[in-house]
Amino acid sequence: MKNEFTEPRPSKLLKGAAVLALAAVVTKLLGTLQKIPLQNIGGDGVFGIYNTVYPFYMMIVTFATAGFPAAVSKFIAERQVLGEEAGKRSVLRMASLIMGLLGVAGFAMLYFGAPLLSRAIGSSQLLPALRNAAPALLFIPLTAALRGYFQGLQEMVPTAVSQVTEQTVRVTVMIVLLLYWTGVGAADDVIAGGAFAGSAAGGMAGLLVMLVFWRRSSGQRESTAPSRKLGAASQIDIPDRAKGAGEERGTKLLAAMLAYAIPVCLAALAVPLLSLVDTFTLPRLLQSRGADELQAMVEVGIYNRGVPLVQLVTMLASSLSVMFIPALTELRMKNDPVGIQRQTTLALRWFWLIGLAASTGLALLAQPINVMLYEDDLGSATLAWIAWTAAPGALVTVSAALLQGLGHVRAPALHLLAAAALKTALNALLVPPLGITGAALAGIAAYGAAAALNLALLARRTGRARRGASAALAQLLRPAAAVLAMAGAVLLVRLGAGALPLGGGRMAALAESLLGVAVGAAVFAAAVLRTGLLSAAELAALPRVSPRLVAALRRLRLVR
């Protein structure tokens, strides 16, 4: 009879990784793109309130869910090997208790502490959004515990289905409530609060999906438990140390789980920290320029127009960077410094080119993209500056992944903490005279600093530090010709669009934006290949890149 022990472990892991990767892409796309109808329906005031509260909400969610699912997965996997059903139940009970308590604490802090938080941020407009975001915390931590349980069993489908369901319900409910509250003429703070109610609905849906999978798996375990336990015991030679791990209970189990979960949690908290800096500084700093509370929220909304576009680039970089981690880990285990240096050089060059192309294109097409997505061109100059965070942001993402592959897990988080401190100082310095453009400039500097710190550590660990700063600078400046070619092509498209009788409005901006992106990307890619920034050998070395791509580029004489 076929059971979970008959399928080869690598095959199961690869299938699970593919399922989770696909789910992550879908959920991130939904989460990022939902901000466009949010602004279109609610306006910049609602958009500003939402984006001021969202980083704080995500910080609490991350704190409650980042570390424990990984810990649950690890401890469940150990007990699965031992065939200990009682041990797995103990882990899940402990995790559910802790996650439930964290969820209740987060709910209480966000709901009952909403007046205090809104005063600390500097805007009473945030009160309904803070309170409506709070109920989601009653569901999301428990969902995370169950996801960790199934991941420990190498069953990734429940997590993937739950993630997609949660995000789909959240976005759907948010849009429905946005349409309702704007239809009845509600105030901006009420509309933003309604948008956050979608988070609670999505959290509840995600938990219900996990409970359905849990109930189904419970029934299967009851019918097959004796034979599975016998099979596990007969096939696996269990070391004494593993047996001791399986017997942990109560406070010992709690201490072991906390010891594993807390470092992971602290590392994850660094990621939303840069956005949280703007939450606590921008409203007050904008009010110091003479804006009232609502006007400050409108300006925050305009500032955040460019953020979803940069997040798409970061999401792409994050998804692609995963390909390099296992390859780098394998090279490290084989003690192959030449291979490590080759792989890191290729990855950094690849992501620097992606980020640079994205930043250049977004900056040059800021005005038509702004009109296409948000109906008007308010804040186009600020959007153009925010676009330049995509290039250092891509480097931060890939360098962090490479450092993780080399065994340095905490360093990227510490570097982001330093970048957050720099962002805070620069916001205070630049926002009073420059407004939201000052915040965008502070973001470029902060991401640039984090990227520089990661790259410096990576150079030391891969033996590239001896090549010196001049060589590193030369590597960064090498794509200048490709960037100039791309800029020229995009500017020609914009001049041509201005000369054609396309009229105004969003459709004309849509045509100009899409044509500019297509032409700019094609010219940049051709220039990169013709100037030898990426060779055929390097393209062939990229994980999962088909040889057919290299063959097609050779036929076009773009690579040698």
Is a pLDDT exceeding 90 seen at residue 90? no
Higher-confidence position of 357 and 222: 357
Model pLDDT, residue 245: 46
Percent of the chain surpassing pLDDT 90: 36
Residue-wise pLDDT for 452-470, tens only, equals 999 989 888 776 655 555 5
Higher-confidence position of 472 and 383: 383
Percent of the chain surpassing pLDDT 70: 77
Model pLDDT, residue 371: 92
Higher-confidence position of 40 and 413: 40
Is a pLDDT exceeding 70 seen at residue 3? no
Q: What is the chain's mean pLDDT, rounded?
A: 80
What's the pLDDT band for 191 if we cut at 50, 70, 90? Answer: very high
What's the pLDDT band for 158 if we cut at 50, 70, 90? Answer: confident
Model pLDDT, residue 219: 63
Residue-wise pLDDT for 534-552, tens only, equals 666 666 655 555 566 666 6
Model pLDDT, residue 227: 44
Which residue intervals of 334-410 are DSSP H helices?
A: 337-364, 366-374, 380-387, 390-405
Locate the domains of the chain by residue range: 9-301
- Asked if 435 contacts 285 with a C-beta cutoff of 8 angstroms, the reply is no
Closest by alpha carbon to 199, among 130, 269, 135, 122?
A: 135
Is a pLDDT exceeding 60 seen at residue 269? yes
What's the pLDDT band for 229 if we cut at 50, 70, 90? Answer: very low
Higher-confidence position of 242 and 470: 470
CA 316 to chain centre: 9
Q: What is the mean pLDDT of residues 524-540?
A: 74
Model pLDDT, residue 85: 76
Higher-confidence position of 532 and 139: 139
- Asked if 38 contacts 50 with a C-beta cutoff of 8 angstroms, the reply is yes
Residue-wise pLDDT for 315-373, tens only, equals 777 666 656 665 666 677 677 777 777 778 777 887 888 889 999 999 999 999 999 99
What's the pLDDT band for 209 if we cut at 50, 70, 90? Answer: very high
Which range among 19-28, 29-38, 82-91, 131-140 has the greatest average pLDDT?
131-140
**How far apart, in whole angstroms, are the C-alpha atoms of residue 384 and residue 306?**
8
Q: What is the mean pLDDT of residues 258-274?
A: 72
Q: How far is CA 180 from CA 134, 201, 254, in A?
A: 21, 16, 46
Paired tokens of 115: 């007046």
Model pLDDT, residue 548: 63
Residue with tokens 């570390």: 67
**How far apart, in whole angstroms, are the C-alpha atoms of residue 96 and residue 382?**
44
What's the pLDDT band for 41 if we cut at 50, 70, 90? Answer: very high
Model pLDDT, residue 163: 87
Model pLDDT, residue 542: 55
Cβ partners under 8 Å of residue 393, min gap 6: 310, 313, 314, 317, 355, 447, 451
Cβ partners under 8 Å of residue 409, min gap 6: 263, 267, 403
**How far apart, in whole angstroms, are the C-alpha atoms of residue 203 and residue 385?**
35
Model pLDDT, residue 382: 95
Q: Which of 20-24, 130-134, 463-467, 495-499 has the lowest mean pLDDT?
A: 463-467
